[in-house]
Amino acid sequence: MIDKNAKIFIAGHCGMVGSAILRKFEAEGYINLITRTREELDLRRQEAVEQFYAAEKPEYVIAAAARVGGIDANLKHRAEFLLENTQIQNNLIYRAYLNGVKKLCFLGSSCIYPAASPQPIREEYLLTGPLEPTNEGYALAKIAGYKLGYYLHEQYGFNVISLMPCNLYGTNDHFDYENSHVLSALVRRFCDAVDSGAKTVICWGTGAARREFLHVDDLADAVYFLMEKWERPEFINVGSGVDISIRELAGLIARLTGFAGGIEWDHSKPDGMLRKCMDVSKITAAGWKPEVSLEDGITRLIAEYRKRKKDI
């Protein structure tokens, strides 16, 4: 058990993932949580991170900070996704080891897997084939972050765990088209169509691609669970183990938003990896499973977008 008074640094607490983790630990009664905004601490700068660790001396670190985005952003800014994420990870993980952090949780992504992985995707499929080109830069960074933590454990006994979640959505998500992921982008499209009285919504790709989704509150619960109970440096998949086609997802969001018009598919846009559904048998065997259903989670997200729409 992690002591309720332990100093825990949640890196990236302003983002969707980090804010969910912060809420979870606060709800569990932790009173010594350390946070920094990007303006207060630029995690890309080694010297700044060194000074932070020396001054704050966190006992535990949750590395939820990252540059993220959807297919469009990943394709346009591959260099930045690779460079900035490796800078952030290297500084957080290596300085945590040098400063005697008791345990670090690294958050990766299911995009680390080869594009042609057998389904469902097992942890051992890592590095068995070429990556999906549409998010290769981000995937390479996440693989490097996992390997750095693993090697530090292997060589020096550093206590690190790595989680590879499926597609995430939920509270504090992005809704701008440049940086949003598929689910939040679809929520915005259909909500806006209802509000404007549009007769048609245009969606990217063919709709045939299949994705697995996890509400960010469930991920936060998994982080808390594994920080308490998981002690292996090998990464673990975190997800629902159930996927849905983008066409089916669009239909579900249309129904939940009240959109009654037509849906057109822009085949000139990429689908990305054809299917991405993870094998979650390891985390299930450890005693964890998600609680938020996809329909309930989308309903919550629609309500959040409608509330925040005037500010977007």
Which residues are identified as catalytic?
138
Per the document, the length of the chain is 312
List the end-to-end C-alpha distance of the chain, in Å, as a whole number.
41
Instruction: Report the distance separating Cα 98 and Cα 262, nearest Å.
Output: 57
Residues 6+ apart with CB under 8 A from 126: 112, 113, 143, 235
Instruction: Report the distance separating Cα 130 and Cα 126, nearest Å.
Output: 10
Nearest 5 degrees, angle CA 34-CA 38-CA 41? 60
Residues 6+ apart with CB under 8 A from 259: 190, 193, 194, 201, 253
Q: Which of these, 148, 125, 144, lies nearest to 136 by C-alpha position?
A: 144
